[in-house]
């Protein structure tokens, strides 16, 4: 069995986790300080968002040097101390590999600007069209066009993301070798995990063409050559480490491709992230909107991905939250009246499913969106760009702020709420991003003393290790047309598991298959009730019924 199937991974966004020196920005010594807390939670691996030298235009996803630590986070000796402390607590480390682009401050790009032809071929530089217009009509994912003038030349460089993030030319063999060198450097430091940022957009065609009728993403996403590049990287680096866990962040991907990325015999990646389930509250596909989530669409996506990835022997990375998403407890539940029950229900939906669960910092104590009042309190480049765009389109300030409060990436980037002291115990200085106002009520210290969400997460993490049906079982939808309940079945050898999740703040009834009526309740977020052929699920109730012979 692949050990990653039993693991639970915890994402740390370093600048918001814990600040040790009072400069308002989280750092590596801050993470070291909290390793015992993560050990107590029970996670197997911590994934750190980028900690490399960077101008921080996109909070570290604009890398200026792949082989060092940004001074804002500490030093290489701090990183080595973190590795040692993690190992002593049986926790592995996963690093973020940002390989689609580099910062324009990276030495390669600077060499290219200085006229060195070798380095110019590291990037996607194209001349304008004959009529003087941009090389293609592509848009940047952060707003505006995807091309920027390359210094005083007649060329433009591609940036699918921020203007300071120049896309690399993966068709260049030398670039691919350099990427393998980066992975091998960190493997030698004892790193056993890698998360590859937007890795499925690295395979651009030799000739780039204009998009027509909304087909832009298909021109650079999930191209067949991407699989060749990832396999080559696997063989030249992390594939040599049998304990290595890898996950690809897949932008606008498909089940067919994620099967290819994650089938063991293909030797690409351990698993894949997809984001389709986090677009079910996009009005007409538009992120910057305030639509209620489409529950049936959410279930259909979970069921389709769960069943097809199981059938094809692929593997999903399961998550609700990360550094780019609003807090799920605010997004999918009533975080005022049912925050605790809602947080547990959301946790159970992914931790009991087929795939490797990821926890994002603060999720295990039920942190919520901060609901900042002022645009000035937001720092995220994407948020600020879209504020300007929506203003130019004529939307009123109040309307835009309502959208931003629900969708900004800063919702998940507010500092972790450790205790009730000033700035929630995150820093003795001024935090780089304001702490959410509810930190007096929601914080680690209070949660450990008298809360129940953290303990619920501890139990879910342990269940995955104790019951093979959770780590290894197949996936099958159950009552998929129910108006309030997302339910699924897991089976492995003689074990069966039925997981029921009420996604609404009102009671509902659901039928229970006969074989589960006498089953064991493995976990629930309410006091246990008698299980009959019909079951009343309370607001945001989650319940897992087990039939089998595993006795813990």
Candidates 343, 423, 529; CA nearest to 22 is 423
Q: What angle do CA 113, 118, 119 make, to 5 degrees?
A: 40
In residues, how long is the chain? 552
Q: How many CB atoms lie within 10 A of CB 336?
A: 10
The C-alpha atoms of residue 69 and residue 64 are separated, in whole angstroms, by: 10
Whether the Cβ atoms of residue 414 and residue 16 lie closer than 8 Å to each other: yes
Indicate which residue of 167, 232, 249, 364 is catalytic. Answer: 249
The C-alpha atoms of residue 33 and residue 406 are separated, in whole angstroms, by: 32
The C-alpha atoms of residue 480 and residue 498 are separated, in whole angstroms, by: 13
| DSSP assigned state of 481 | T
Whether the Cβ atoms of residue 197 and residue 144 lie closer than 8 Å to each other: no
Residue 186 is encoded by which pair of tokens?
A: 């960190």
Residue 13 is encoded by which pair of tokens?
A: 């966004």
| DSSP assigned state of 517 | H
Q: How many CB atoms lie within 10 A of CB 138?
A: 21
The C-alpha atoms of residue 338 and residue 332 are separated, in whole angstroms, by: 11
Q: Three-state secondary structure along 482-498?
A: CCCEEEEEEEECCEEEE
Ramachandran bin of 443, using left for φ above 0, alpha for ψ from -120 to 50, beta for the remaining angles: beta
Q: Is 249 a catalytic residue?
A: yes
Going from the C-alpha of 123 to that of each of 112, 172, 202, the distances in angstroms are: 8, 9, 11
Whether the Cβ atoms of residue 262 and residue 272 lie closer than 8 Å to each other: yes
Indicate which residue of 92, 197, 232, 324 is catalytic. Answer: 197
Q: What angle do CA 512, 515, 520 make, to 5 degrees?
A: 85
Q: Is 197 a catalytic residue?
A: yes
CA dihedral 469, 474, 480, 485 (to 10 degrees): 20
Write the CB contacts of 138 (distance below 8 Å, at least 6 apart in sequence): 145, 146, 147, 158, 160, 208, 210, 211, 216, 219
The C-alpha atoms of residue 90 and residue 42 are separated, in whole angstroms, by: 10
Q: How many CB atoms lie within 10 A of CB 431?
A: 20
> What does 334-387 look like in DSSP terms, one character per residue?
-TTTSHHHHHHHHHHHHHTSSSEEEEETTGGGT------S-GGG---HHHHHHH
**What pairs with residue 485 in β-bridges?**
502
Q: Which residues are catalytic?
A: 197, 249
């Amino acid at each position: 069995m692949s050990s990653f199937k039993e693991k639970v991974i915890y994402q740390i966004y370093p600048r918001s986790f814990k600040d040790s020196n009072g400069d308002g920005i989280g750092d590596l010594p801050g993470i070291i300080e909290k390793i015992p807390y993560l050990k107590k939670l029970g996670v197997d691996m911590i994934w750190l968002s980028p900690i490399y030298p960077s101008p921080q235009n996109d909070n570290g996803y604009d890398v200026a040097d792949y082989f060092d630590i940004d001074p804002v986070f500490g030093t290489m000796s701090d990183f080595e101390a973190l590795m040692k402390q993690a190992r002593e607590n049986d926790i592995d480390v996963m690093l973020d590999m940002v390989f689609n682009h580099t910062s324009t401050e990276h030495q390669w790009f600077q060499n290219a600007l200085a006229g060195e032809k070798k380095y110019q071929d590291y990037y996607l530089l194209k001349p304008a069209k004959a009529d003087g217009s941009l090389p293609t009509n592509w848009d940047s994912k952060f707003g505006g066009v995807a091309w920027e003038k390359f210094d005083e030349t007649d060329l433009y460089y591609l940036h699918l993301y921020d203007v300071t993030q120049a896309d690399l030319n993966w068709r260049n063999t030398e670039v691919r070798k350099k990427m393998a060198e980066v992975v091998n450097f960190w493997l030698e430091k004892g790193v056993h995990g890698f998360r590859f940022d937007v890795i499925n957009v690295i395979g651009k065609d030799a000739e780039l063409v204009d998009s027509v009728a909304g087909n832009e993403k298909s021109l650079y996403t999930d191209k067949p050559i991407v699989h060749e590049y990832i396999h080559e990287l696997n063989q030249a680096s992390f594939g040599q480490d049998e304990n290595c866990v890898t996950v690809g962040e897949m932008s606008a991907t498909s089940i067919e491709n994620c099967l290819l990325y994650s089938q063991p015999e293909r030797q690409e990646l351990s698993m894949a992230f997809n984001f389709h389930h986090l677009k079910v509250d996009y009005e007409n596909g538009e992120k910057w909107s305030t639509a209620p989530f489409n529950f049936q669409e959410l279930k259909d996506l979970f069921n389709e991905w769960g069943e097809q990835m199981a059938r094809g022997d692929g593997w999903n990375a399961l998550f609700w939250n990360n550094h780019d998403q609003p807090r799920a407890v605010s997004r999918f539940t009533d975080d005022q009246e049912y925050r605790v029950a809602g947080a547990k229900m959301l946790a159970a939906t992914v931790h009991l499913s087929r795939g490797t669960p990821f926890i994002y910092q603060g999720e295990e104590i039920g942190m919520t969106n901060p609901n900042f009042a002022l645009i000035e309190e937001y720092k995220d480049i994407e948020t600020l760009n879209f504020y300007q765009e929506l203003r130019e389109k004529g939307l009123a300030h109040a309307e835009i702020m309502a959208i931003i409060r629900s969708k900004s990436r800063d919702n998940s980037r507010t500092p972790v709420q450790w205790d009730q002291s000033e700035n929630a115990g995150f820093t003795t200085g001024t935090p780089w991003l304001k702490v959410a106002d509810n930190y007096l009520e929601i914080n680690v210290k209070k949660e450990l003393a008298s809360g129940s969400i953290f303990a619920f997460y501890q139990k879910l993490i342990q269940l995955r290790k104790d019951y093979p049906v959770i780590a290894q079982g197949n996936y099958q939808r159950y009552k998929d047309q129910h108006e309030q309940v997302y339910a699924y079945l897991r089976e492995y050898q003689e074990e069966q598991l039925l997981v029921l999740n009420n996604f609404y703040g009102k009671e509902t009834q659901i039928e229970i298959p006969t074989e589960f009526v006498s089953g064991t309740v493995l976990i629930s977020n309410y006091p246990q009730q008698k299980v009959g052929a019909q079951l009343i699920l309370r607001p945001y109730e989650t319940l897992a019924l087990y039939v089998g012979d595993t006795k813990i």
